[in-house]
């Protein structure tokens, strides 16, 4: 498994090709969104909704052999794109690394520039939820 920062750097590289062109960045996000495999209806339920997102985001987490697998989905394509990057970075990592991760890619790819504050709040809520899962699984492991 690649480290969190390694994957972040890959994403930063991929975006750097787009040279900050807003249209292309958003289109790339949509492409990423389309590639994210959808959650089944069984998981697209109220309990799995991340609070704080303007569009709906569903997040589920599984803990096996020391690592967390995240799956997520959204009813909007752009949010799906955003979410897919978080899943790509954090899924498969161990709880400790997830908790201590610094997700600098958001700033580096200039996400704030094209995703306004209301929407990045949604992103923040998503990250928080992922870290909460990490915390919960860690606590469970230590019991």
Partner 1 sequence: MSNSGHISQIDNLTQIRAEFPILHQQVNGKPLVYFDNAASNQKPLSVLNALDHYYRNDHANIHRGIHTLAERATEAYELSRKRTAEFINAAEPEEIIFTSGTTEGLNLVASTYGRKLLKPGDEVLITNMEHHSNIVPWQMLCEEKDLKLKVLPLRDNGEVKWELLDSMLTERTRIVSIVHASNSLGTINPISELSDKVHQAGAILVVDGAQASAHLEIDVQALNCDFYALSSHKMYGPTGVGVLYGKRKWLEKMPPYKGGGEMIKEVTLEKTTYSDIPHKFEAGTPNIADVVAFKTAIEFIDEIGKNTIIQHENKLLNHAHAELEAIDGLRLIGTAAEKVGVVSFVVDGVHHFDLGVMLDTKGIAVRTGHHCTQPLMECYGLEGTVRASFSVYNTIEEVDLLVESLDAIVKKLRN
Catalytic residue among 32, 53, 59, 115: 53
Q: Does 84 bind partner 1 (CB under 8 A)?
A: no
Nearer to partner 1, 88 or 119 (CB): 119
Size of the site for partner 1 (CB under 8 A): 15
Q: Is 57 helix (H, G, I), strand (E, B) or coil?
A: strand
CA distance 98 to 95: 5
Which of 21-29, 40-48, 100-108, 131-139 is the region at the interface with partner 1 (rule: CB under 8 A)? 21-29
Q: Which residue number, 28 or 63, has a Cβ lying nearer to partner 1?
A: 28
Distance CA 138, CA 128 (A): 15
Could you confirm whether 53 is annotated as catalytic? yes
Taking the CA atoms of the chain, what radius of gyration do you get in angstroms?
15
Which residues between 26 and 65 bind partner 1 (CB under 8 A)? 26-27, 30, 54-55
| φ/ψ of residue 2, rounded to 5 | -70, 150
Exposure string (b/e) for 43-58, b if CB count within 10 Å is 16 or more?
ebeeebebeebeebbb
Q: How far is the CB of 55 from partner 1 (least distance, A)?
A: 5
The footprint of partner 1 (CB under 8 A) covers 22-23, 26-27, 30, 54-55, 75-79, 114-115, 119
Residues with catalytic annotation? 53
């Amino acid at each position: 498994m690649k480290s969190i920062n390694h994957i972040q750097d890959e994403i930063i590289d991929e975006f750097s090709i787009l040279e900050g062109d807003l249209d292309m960045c958003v289109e790339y996000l949509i492409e990423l969104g389309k590639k994210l495999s959808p959650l089944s209806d069984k998981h697209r339920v109220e309990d799995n909704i991340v609070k704080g997102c303007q569009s709906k985001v569903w997040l589920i987490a599984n803990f096996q052999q020391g690592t967390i697998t995240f799956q997520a989905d959204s009813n909007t394509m752009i949010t799906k794109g955003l979410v897919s990057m978080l899943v790509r970075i954090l899924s498969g990592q161990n709880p400790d690394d997830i908790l201590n991760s610094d997700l600098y890619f958001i700033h580096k790819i200039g996400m704030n520039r094209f995703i306004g504050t209301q929407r990045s709040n949604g992103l923040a809520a998503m990250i928080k939820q992922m870290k909460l899962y990490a915390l919960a699984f860690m606590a469970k492991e230590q019991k």
